[in-house]
Amino acid sequence: MKKITTMITFVVLFAFAIITINQPDTEQMYAKQNHEYVHKSAGLKQVQVDNIKQAAETKDITHEEIVKLTDTFMDLLVQEIDDHYKVVRFDTKEELLNAFEPYVVKDAVKPYIDYYYEEKEDGLYIVPTETPPWFEKDEDYEKESKDNKVIITQSNENELYGPYTIEIVFEKIDGTWKIANISHE
């Protein structure tokens, strides 16, 4: 009986030794798997970041952004004046033009400033007249996207101008939407 017990013990120890020798190094295996996971994870994160950047770059301008830019344009165009039509906040056309810079490309607003304002020795004066035909935020419009530009076209009618169509081009410049061109007929 003693021989059988010794023999079984020997066989079990021998089997255990063989299993242990043939077992891969779990620390190395874990490190390799972790390394592969980190690389896959980093690659996935980079793909996600690239996708987010691409979506942000190609994202169309929203209705709210259009309304904000068109309202800001008109708010800046119609300046506060005194009893003699002298502009209160700005002394020159250049100062007024610079106020539009975060919202409108200079070439798009300059014709409006030249038409509606007059520079005199003692300051800037508004020419008393009506505001131009403009975008109506509560009316329908068409929107077309091209490159980093969005063109909106809207047909309206009012008592002063009758029926008119306004086209406003918005361009994404340095990650910010700006009015790039305005035309109406």
Indicate whether 144 belongs to any domain: yes
Indicate whether 18 belongs to any domain: no
| Distance in angstroms (rounded) separating the CA atoms of residues 92 and 126 | 11
- What are 94-109's pLDDT values in tens digits? 999 999 999 999 999 9
The number of domains in the chain is: 1
Indicate whether 138 belongs to any domain: yes
| Distance in angstroms (rounded) separating the CA atoms of residues 165 and 116 | 21
Question: Which residue is listed with tokens 């200079």?
Answer: 106
pTM over the 0.85 mark: no
Indicate whether 159 belongs to any domain: yes
Q: Which of 143, 150, 155 is nearest to 169 (CA)?
A: 150
C-beta neighbour count of 33 within 10 angstroms: 10
Q: What is the largest CA-CA distance in the chain?
A: 124
Question: For position 136, which CATH number holds?
Answer: 3.10.450.420
Q: How many CA atoms lie within 13 A of 133 on its CB side?
A: 20
Name the pLDDT band for 15 (thresholds 50, 70, 90): very low
Domain that holds residue 111: 63-184
Name the pLDDT band for 21 (thresholds 50, 70, 90): low
Indicate whether 78 belongs to any domain: yes
- What are 116-167's pLDDT values in tens digits? 999 999 999 999 999 999 999 999 999 999 888 999 999 999 888 899 999 9
